[in-house]
Structure 1
Amino acid sequence: MPTLPRRPLGSTGIDVSCLGLGTVKLGRSEGVKYPDKFSIPDDDAVRALLHQAQELGINFIDTAPAYGNSEERLGQLMQRRQDWVICSKTGEEFVDGKSLFDFSASHTRRSIERSLKRLQTDYLDLVLVHSDGNDRQIIEHSDCFETLMRCREQGLIRAFGLSGKTLAGGLIAATLCDVVMVSYNPGHTEEAAVIDHAHKLQKGVLIKKAFDSGHALSGHHNAADAITENMRFIFARPGVTSIIAGTINPAHLQQNASTAARVLSATTAAETRRD
C-alpha cells in the first residue's frame, strides 16, 4: 500500500495526515444525516479503530461537543495523546435531540475548557467554530474569534478556524483564521474559492462532506469507484490539506486510507512527469 502522506496545516507548524478520522459516530446516532442506520460502537471496537487508524498513517482526529459523548470516549480510549493531532469545535451543542448555538465569549471559553477536560489533555491542536450557517454574523458580531485568539495566545489551543457553510464567510475566515473547513465534492463546488483564497494565504484547508455524508456512495453502482473519483477530484485542487471522513467500519477505513494514498501517489507522479 502506498504511504499515506502528511501535509503542513497551513502555517500552523502542525503536520496532519491527508486523511483525518471524523468521530461523530463514536458518540451520536440521533439527528444525523447519513443514509444508513448504525449503532454506536463499544469501547473495544473504538480502541481497535483508533489503533487501525494509526497503523494506516492517520494522525488527525476530528471531534466536537455536538458529537454526543465522542470527546469523553476519545479522552478515555486514545493512547499516547502526543501521537494525535486533535481538532475539536465550539459554538454548537446537541441537547435533547436538537442543535443549540452560542458564540459568545463566555461560552467559547467554557467550551474549550470542557473539551480539554473531556479529552484529558492540556491543549487542543485545533478548534473550529461550528457555524449555524450565519458565518458573517458569527465573525463580525460575536466575540468568538477574539476569544479563540486569546486562547491561542494562552496556549490552550495551537490554532483555530471556521467550519463554515457560506462562500462569503469562508473568504473572511481564511483571512482571519489559521484554518478553514469547507464542504467540497464533485456535486458541491460553491466553496472552491475559499480553498483558493486560503491557499494563497498559506492557511490550512480541511474538507468535510467529501462523500456528501455517504449519499454520494449509496447512490453509486460502485462505492469504491465513487470514493476514488471524489478523492481524485478533491486532491486535484491546490491548497487542500486533509479530507475528514467519518467511519466506524474497519473495512471502510482501510479503503479510504488506501484510496487516498493511491490517489496522492498518482498525483505526485503526474506532477513529477510534468516537471
Structure 2
Amino acid sequence: MQKRNFGLTGFDVPAIGYGAGTVGDSRLEEKQAERILNQVLDLGIGFIDTAKGYGLSEQRIGQYISHRRDEFKLSTKVGYGVEGHQDWTYDCIITGVEQALTTMKTDFLDVVHLHSCPTSVLQDGQVIDALDQAKQQGKIKAIAYSGENKDLQYAVSSNRFDSIMASLNFCDQRIIHNQLPEAKQQGLGMIAKRPIANAPWRFDSQPNDDYAEEYWLRRRKMALEFGMSELELALRFTVFTYGVDTAIVGSVNIAHLQKNIEIIKAGPLSQEIVQYIYARFRECDDHWIGQI
C-alpha cells in the first residue's frame, strides 16, 4: 500500500483508508464486524475513519482491533450527541474526545474532526479551542474539520486546523480548484470522502433516499466513457488527485477492498483523461456544490 505524508502532521497514511461507517450498522453481526475490521488491517489499510454518529462503529473498533492499535491511524468526529452537554460547545467537544478515547480503548486519537458544523460555530471559536486543549494534552495528534463549500473555506482560511476532510470524486470536483490548493499551501492533510461517488452505477434508475442520488444524476449528465470500469475511473481519479493524502472507502465486503487496492496499482489516469473529466464537470455543472 502506497504511503503518503499527512500534511505537516508528522505521520503518514495509506493512499486508501477505511470508512468505518458501514461496520457500525447494528444489522451487521458481531462476528462479521470483527472479521472485517481485522481483515482491513491484514490488507495494510492502516487508516480508519469513524464518527460518534456512525452507530456501533467506535464501539466495535475498540472491541475488536484496539489490541492492534499500532497498526493503524485512527480518525473520528465529534461535536454532538454527548449527554448532558449542548451540541457544538466547548464541554461537548472535551467530553466527546474523552468518550471516544474510552470507547475505542486508546490513549490518543490521530485525527479528530469537527463534524460538518456551520461557519458560525467555527467563528465562535470555542470548539476549536477545545480541540487545541486536547492536542496540547497529547490526546489528539491532528485537529481537523470535515465539511463542504463555504464552511470548509472558512475552516481552511482560519489557519487553525491540521487537516480537512471533504467529498471529492469525478462528479464532486469543486474543492479541487477552490479550497484544496490553499489547504495544501498551508500544509494541511487531506482526506477525500466519497471517492467513488457512492458507486451510482449500482442503480439502473434514479435511486431514492440514498447518498448516491445526487451523484447518479451528475454521472448520467457527464456521461464519461474511457474503456475501463467506472469503479477504476472513479478511484484512480480521486486517489491520484493532487493534494489527496488518503481516500476513505467503506465496505463490508473484503473482496471489494482487495479490488480497490489492485486498481490503484495501475497508478494515475493519463493527464488527457483527467483534463477531460475536469472539462466535463465544468460543462455540466449546474450549481454542483460539495455534498455533505
TM-score, normalization by structure 1: 0.81
Structure 1 residue aligned with 2:256: 252
Give how far 1:217 is off. Answer: 4.6
1:22 aligned to 2:26? no
- Matches of residues 23-38 of structure 1 in structure 2 within 5 Å? 23-28=20-25
Unaligned runs of 5+ in 1: 30-38, 268-275
SS at match of 1:81: helix
Mapped partners of 1:155, 1:236: distance in 2:
32
Q: 2:98 aligns with which of 113, 125, 148?
A: 113
List per-residue Cα deviations over 1:146-181 (Å, max 9, x = no partner).
110111011011111111122x32233233211010
Q: 2:161 aligns with which of 160, 177, 187?
A: 177
Q: What one-letter code is carried by the residue in structure 2 that aligns with 1:63?
A: T
Q: CA contact under 8 A between 1:181 and 1:205: conserved in structure 2?
A: yes
Structure 2 residue aligned with 1:77: 64
Query: Per the alignment, do residues 81 and 140 of structure 1 end up closer, same or farther by CA in structure 2, a change over 3 Å counting?
Result: same
Structure 1 residue aligned with 2:239: 235
Q: What one-letter code is carried by the residue in structure 2 that aligns with 1:169?
A: D
List per-residue Cα deviations over 1:126-152 (Å, max 9, x = no partner).
1011114x2x11210241111101110
- Matches of residues 1-275 of structure 1 in structure 2 within 5 Å? 4-28=1-25, 39-40=27-28, 42-78=29-65, 79-93=67-81, 102-132=87-117, 134=118, 136-166=119-149, 168-174=150-156, 175-192=159-176, 193-218=178-203, 225-263=229-267
Mapped partners of 1:173, 1:16: distance in 2:
22
Give how far 1:14 is off. Answer: 1.4
Q: CA contact under 8 A between 1:49 and 1:250: conserved in structure 2?
A: yes
Q: CA contact under 8 A between 2:199 and 2:231: conserved in structure 1?
A: no
Mapped partners of 1:22, 1:234: distance in 2:
15
TM-score, normalization by structure 2: 0.77
Q: CA contact under 8 A between 1:211 and 1:217: conserved in structure 2?
A: no
Mapped partners of 1:217, 1:157: distance in 2:
38
Give how far 1:56 is off. Answer: 2.1
Unaligned runs of 5+ in 2: 205-218, 271-292
Give how far 1:50 is off. Answer: 2.4
Query: Per the alignment, do residues 259 and 217 of structure 1 end up closer, same or farther by CA in structure 2, a change over 3 Å counting?
Result: farther
Identity value in percent = 28
Mapped partners of 2:181, 2:141: distance in 1:
23
Aligned length: 245
Q: CA contact under 8 A between 2:34 and 2:60: conserved in structure 1?
A: no
Structure 1 residue aligned with 2:215: none
Q: CA contact under 8 A between 1:16 and 1:85: conserved in structure 2?
A: yes
List per-residue Cα deviations over 1:242-267 (Å, max 9, x = no partner).
10111111111111222123335x78
SS at match of 2:9: coil
